[in-house]
Amino acid sequence: MIETRGLRKSYRSREGRETKTVDAVRGVNLDVAEGEIFGFLGPNGAGKTTTLRMLATLIEPDGGEATVAGADLRKDPAEVRRRIGYVAQGGSTWDESSAREELVLQARLYGISKAEAHRRAERALEAFQLTEYADRKCKTYSGGQRRRVEIALGIIHEPKIVFLDEPTTGLDPQSRAHMWDEIRRLRTEGMTVFITTHYLDEADALCDRIAIMDHGEIVAEGTPAELKREISGEVVIVGLDAPSTPRAAELLDTEAYVSKLETVDEGGLRLYVDEGATAIPQVLRRLDHAGLDLRSIELHRPSLDDVFLTKTGRSLRES
């Protein structure tokens, strides 16, 4: 659905008398498959929005190539526009208009006839549970309602791909969960969804595949599970008495599934394993056979933040 090679964009910014060139996006290669929710994860200023805006034809790339929904981004941006939807981060509705007016206008801007535009607006209002407020001015909407109108505007022409820039930023937890459901619904309807986010949990829970972006480059790409596995596998933390710890270490060190073993000072072990879910029963059985009592057993799965930390040397939460 989307294929990019070496997509680049730099800005010139002036600081005092000097003009500096800032490389916002430095050569992005992406392959997004049809019907998936693809996420761009990274801190603010990583170049996610710039990449998205290039793919949505809003800014021209300085270099590189891209095919979006089968159309060449550089040679035929008009065709790309017809096939994609784009929902900006900062909102796109006018205070004094109603959701219905906005939807009808947007449909008509895509060349849809008046009658059909009204039909589509009605359907979209229903699908996004906005019928009740359809004819009220946008300024009376809650943050969540307004965001739903904006997403509805982005897909009113039934595009193959929709780009959502930070779709849940600024929403309360309930509206956020609601928005995730809406996004999953779009996928069910066969749309490819491309989102940017700086929320780890959002990337993890919502996206089929993600690309982690930092300083204008993609530093990792894969399914959330793959990325996390790639890091260090998982860690099983076994709580034991100090006296029985050496004996347990001796027993488990020889097990094939344990790739690395560390002793915890106050007693207990850290076992680095490929998959915790299969390792835990084996650890329990082994220690039980040896008659060793364990106090606790915990599984620590690496998070996407661990992935980000490994790839960039800093935590996403801090940046």
Partner 1 sequence: MKLARDTWLIFQRQTQLLLRNPVWIFVGVFQPVMYLLLFAPLLKPALNAPTQAAAYKIFVPGLLVLLAIFGGLFQGFGLIAELRAGVIERSRVTPVSRLALLLGRSLRDVVSLIAQAVIITLLALAFDLRVFIGNLLLAYLMLALIALMTSAVSYGIALKVKSEDALAPLMNTVAQPVLLLSGILLPLTFAPGWLQGVAKWNPFSWAVEGTRALFNGDLGNDRVWQGLGIIAVLAAAGVFWAARQFARSVR
210 half-sphere exposure, CB direction, 13 A CA radius: 30
Residue 111 is a binding residue for partner 1 (CB under 8 A): yes
CB of 88 to partner 1, least distance (A): 5
- Give residue for tokens 């980000």: 308
Query: Is the CB of 109 or the CB of 242 nearer to partner 1?
Result: 109
Q: Which of 35, 63, 91, 267 binds partner 1 (CB under 8 A)?
A: 91
Site size with partner 1, rule: CB under 8 A: 28
Q: Which of 15, 17, 90, 243 binds partner 1 (CB under 8 A)?
A: 90
- Closest to 65 measured CA to CA, from 6, 21, 1: 6
CB of 195 to partner 1, least distance (A): 16
CB of 174 to partner 1, least distance (A): 24
Query: Is the CB of 88 or the CB of 294 nearer to partner 1?
Result: 88
Site for partner 1 in 168-187 (CB under 8 A): none
Strand partners, 63: 8
Residue 153 is a binding residue for partner 1 (CB under 8 A): yes
CB of 43 to partner 1, least distance (A): 20
Q: Is residue 220 packed enough to be buried (19+ CB in 10 Å), middle (13-18) or exposed (0-12)? A: buried
- Closest to 2 measured CA to CA, from 69, 56, 52, 76: 69
CB of 190 to partner 1, least distance (A): 20
Buried b (16+ CB within 10 A) or exposed e, 179-208: bbebbeebeeeebbbbbbbbbbebbbebbe
Which residues, 6+ apart, have CB-to-CB distance to 190 below 8 Å? 35
Element (H, E) at 125: helix 114-127
CB of 86 to partner 1, least distance (A): 4
Site for partner 1 in 246-305 (CB under 8 A): none
Query: Is the CB of 114 or the CB of 314 nearer to partner 1?
Result: 114
Torsion of CA 96, 100, 101, 105, to 10 degrees: 130
For the chain, percent helix, then strand, then coil, each to nearest 5? 40, 30, 30
Residue 106 is a binding residue for partner 1 (CB under 8 A): yes
Query: Is the CB of 117 or the CB of 252 nearer to partner 1?
Result: 117
Q: Which of 10, 29, 67, 97 binds partner 1 (CB under 8 A)?
A: 97
CB of 137 to partner 1, least distance (A): 9
Element (H, E) at 78: helix 77-83
Site for partner 1 in 67-86 (CB under 8 A): 78, 81-82, 84-86
Question: What residues make contact with partner 1 under the rule CB under 8 A?
Answer: 56-59, 78, 81-82, 84-86, 88, 90-97, 101, 105-106, 108-111, 153, 157
